[in-house]
Amino acid sequence: MSGVRIYDLAKELKLTSNELLDVLKELGEPTKTASSTINDSAAEGVRKRVADRANGVSNGASAPSTHHNGNGSAPKPAAAPAAPAAESPAASGKVVDIPSVVSLKDFADLISIPAPTIQKKLMGLGVLASLNQKLSPEVVTRLAKSYGVPVNIVAPQAAPAAPQAAVATTTNTNVITPAPQAMEAAPAAPAAPKVAVVAAKPRQKAAGPVSRPPVVTIMGHVDHGKTTLLDAIRKARVVDTEHGGITQHIGAYQVSVEDPTNAGVMRKITFLDTPGHEAFSAMRARGAQVTDIAILVVAADDGIMPQTIEAINHIKAAGVPMIVAVNKIDKDGANPTRVLTQLTEHNVMPEAYGGDVQTVELSAKEGLGLDDLLEKIILVTDAEIEPKADPSAPATGWVIEAEIDKGRGVVTTILVDQGTVKMGDSVVAGTTFGRIKAMVDDMGQRIKDAPPAFPVVILGLNGVPKAGDRFEVAKNEKIARQIAEGRASDIKEDQMGSRRVMTLEDMQRHFKATPSKTLNLIIKGDVQGSVEAIQQSLEKIDHPEVKVKFIGSGVGSVGDSDVQLAAASSALILAFNVRPEPGAVKMAEAEHVDIREYRIIYDLFDDVKKAMANLLDPIYEESALGVAEVRAVFRLPRSGGSIAGSYILDGKVVRNANVRVKRGGKLVAEGKIDTLKREKDDAREVAQGYECGILVPGYDPVIEDRIECYELKRIERTL
Angstrom distances, CA of residue 600 to CA of 434, 548, 580, 605, 719: 55, 20, 17, 9, 20
| DSSP tag of 131 | T
In a shared domain, residues 305 and 345: yes
The domain containing residue 274 runs over which residues? 210-389
Q: What does the pLDDT read at residue 74?
A: 39
Task: Tell me the backbone φ, ψ of residue 464, rounded to 5 degrees.
Answer: -95, 110
In a shared domain, residues 438 and 370: no
Pairing status of strand 421-422 against strand 266-272: unpaired
In a shared domain, residues 606 and 627: no
- CATH number of the domain to which 452 belongs: 2.40.30.10
Pairing status of strand 37-38 against strand 4-5: antiparallel
Angle at 316 between CA 388 and CA 100, to 5 degrees: 20
- Kindly give, in sequence order, each residue whose CB lies less than 8 Å from that of residue 437, ignoring residues fewer than 6 positions away: 459, 460
DSSP letters along 614-679, please? HHSPPEEEEEEEEEEEEEEEEE-TTT--EEEEEEEEEEEEETT-EEEEEETTEEEEEEE--EEEET
Which residue, 192, 183, 217, is CA-closest to 311?
217
**pTM given for the model:** 0.55
Which residue, 682, 686, 679, 675, is CA-closest to 652?
686
Residue 124 maps to a domain = yes
Helix-helix angle 115-123:104-111, to 10 degrees: 120
Q: What does the pLDDT read at residue 90?
A: 58
Q: Which residues of the chain have pLDDT under 50?
A: 1, 58-86, 157-174, 177-204, 239-248, 497-501, 510, 512-515
Q: What does the pLDDT read at residue 125?
A: 57
- Kindly give, in sequence order, each residue whose CB lies less than 8 Å from that of residue 488, ignoring residues fewer than 6 positions away: 431
- CATH number of the domain to which 581 belongs: 3.40.50.10050
CA 117, CA 136: separation in Å to the nearest integer? 18
Give the dihedral sign, CA 249/252/257/260. Answer: positive
In a shared domain, residues 334 and 224: yes
Residue 543 maps to a domain = yes
Residue 162 maps to a domain = no
- CATH number of the domain to which 322 belongs: 3.40.50.300
In a shared domain, residues 524 and 491: no
In a shared domain, residues 227 and 329: yes
Q: Are 539 and 604 within 8 A, CB to CB?
A: no
Residue 106 maps to a domain = yes
Q: How many CB atoms lie within 10 A of CB 384?
A: 24
In a shared domain, residues 609 and 519: yes
Residue 530 maps to a domain = yes
Q: Are 387 and 145 within 8 A, CB to CB?
A: no
- Kindly give, in sequence order, each residue whose CB lies less than 8 Å from that of residue 216, ignoring residues fewer than 6 positions away: 269, 270, 271, 272, 291, 292, 293, 294, 295, 377
In a shared domain, residues 315 and 366: yes
Query: What is the tally of helices (H) and strands (E) in the chain?
Result: 18, 36
Q: Provide, for the chain, the percentages of residues in helix, strand and coil under a 3-state DSSP scheme, each rounded to the nearest 5.
A: 30, 30, 40
Q: What does the pLDDT read at residue 115?
A: 77
Helix-helix angle 6-13:17-26, to 10 degrees: 100
Residue 196 maps to a domain = no
Q: Which of 355, 373, 389 is the last residue of a domain?
A: 389
Q: What does the pLDDT read at residue 530?
A: 80
Beta bridge pairs of residue 361: 326
Q: What does the pLDDT read at residue 436?
A: 95
Task: State the virtual CA torsion across 473, 477, 478, 483 in degrees, nearest 10.
Answer: 40
- Kindly give, in sequence order, each residue whose CB lies less than 8 Å from that of residue 244, ignoring residues fewer than 6 positions away: 444
Task: Tell me the backbone φ, ψ of residue 408, rounded to 5 degrees.
Answer: -115, -10
Q: What does the pLDDT read at residue 509?
A: 52
In a shared domain, residues 597 and 642: no
Residue 198 maps to a domain = no
CA 168, CA 154: separation in Å to the nearest integer? 25
In a shared domain, residues 631 and 584: no
Q: Which of 475, 497, 519 is the last residue of a domain?
A: 497
Per-residue burial over 205-219, b = 16 or more CB atoms within 10 Å of its CB, e = otherwise: ebebbeebbbbbbbb
In a shared domain, residues 293 and 361: yes
Domain count for the chain, please give it. 6
Angstrom distances, CA of residue 74 to CA of 38, 109, 518, 667, 679: 20, 39, 48, 67, 90
Which residue, 107, 85, 81, 83, is CA-closest to 96?
107
As a whole number of Å, the end-to-end CA separation of the chain is 47
- CATH number of the domain to which 28 belongs: 1.10.10.2480
Q: Are 694 and 685 within 8 A, CB to CB?
A: no
Q: What does the pLDDT read at residue 77?
A: 38
In a shared domain, residues 16 and 109: no
Residue 197 maps to a domain = no
pLDDT tens digits for 159-193?
Answer: 333 333 333 333 334 455 444 343 443 334 344 44
Q: Are 713 and 620 within 8 A, CB to CB?
A: yes
DSSP letters along 307-324, please? HHHHHHHHHHHHT--EEE
Beta strands in 462-545 (DSSP E): 470-474, 517-525
Q: Which of 351, 368, 389 is the last residue of a domain?
A: 389
CA 712, CA 624: separation in Å to the nearest integer? 9
Task: Tell me the backbone φ, ψ of residue 293, rounded to 5 degrees.
Answer: -135, 140
